[in-house]
Structures are given as C-alpha cells and as structure tokens.
Amino acid sequence: MSSYRQILYHIVFGTKGSKPTLSPKHIHELFAYISGIIKNKKCHLYRINGMQNHLHILCDLHPNIALADYMRDIKTSTSFWLKQHKGFMNFKGWADGYAALTYSFKEKDKIINYIKNQQSHHKKESFHDELRKILEEAGVQINEQFFP
C-alpha cells in the first residue's frame, strides 16, 4: 500500500514590531522568492499574499519536513534576501513566532479567497485584530503578551 497525506497549512507571520517594511511595489518579488523556497522543499503553494507588515501562506507541507524547520528556513532565507534587496531597505527582520493552522482540503477555496482579499480586509481591520480572530476561530489559546 502507498502512503497518502494531505497536510494543508494556513501560515501567518509578521515583520519585527509589526512595522510596515514590506514594500507594496516589490512584494510580488518576495512572493516569487517564497514560492521558490516552497517548491524546492517539495511542498505545494496554493496562495500567498500579505500586507506591509505580515504575510499569509496556504500550502501543503511535505511529510518529511517538520513545520518548525520549514518556517525557520522560510524566515531565515527571506530575511537575508529582503535585507539585500534595494526595494526593502527598511526591513529589519521577522517577528519571533508564527501561526500555522491546519485545514481540511474542503476548506481550501475558502482560505484561498480569504488570503486573496487581504487588502480589503485590512481597510477595516488591523493585523493584530485579524490574527486574534483567526486564532480564536481555530480554538487556539492566545498569549496576551504578544498582543498590544
């Protein structure tokens, strides 16, 4: 018998201090770079989007990769790349931690649409309010020291 898996993650992580250091003019270059990292890890990217202070990724995680290693590699590689890129001169690093929530494949299109519409969400809602809502809906206990 073959092995089968479907590990779908909605990952959210922000810039250090939630500072708006991801240039909208160049952010699609960052998305392409992250897409390459994900592909090289034999994972599948369904959607990436974000704002000046945070990113959302919906991806499939290959079973031979630990989530913590995956996130460390993405954050380390992109941090180095962003600091070298002229379009992201104000980038100082990523915040510690991330949110990684699993979803069923049936919810994939709903999450893709949510990520796709980041710009309209954030006309009404801050990153911290959005993250709090996502965590509460997933039943995750929130550590208040990380929410101003």
**Statement: residue 148 has pLDDT above 70:** no
pLDDT > 70 fraction of the chain, expressed in percent and rounded = 99
**8-146 placed in CATH 3.30.70.1290:** yes
Which range of 6-10, 109-113, 124-128, 138-142 scores highest in mean pLDDT? It is 109-113
Average pLDDT over residues 23-46: 97
- Domain borders along the chain are 8-146
pTM over 0.95: no
Q: What is the 3-state secondary structure (H, E, C) of the chain?
A: CCCCCCCEEEEEEEEHHHCCCCCCCCHHHHHHHHHHHHHHCCCEEEEEEEECCEEEEEEECCCCCCHHHHHHHHHHHHHHHHHHCHHHCCCCCECCCCEEEEECHHHHHHHHHHHHCHHHHCCCCCHHHHHHHHHHHCCCCCCHHHCC
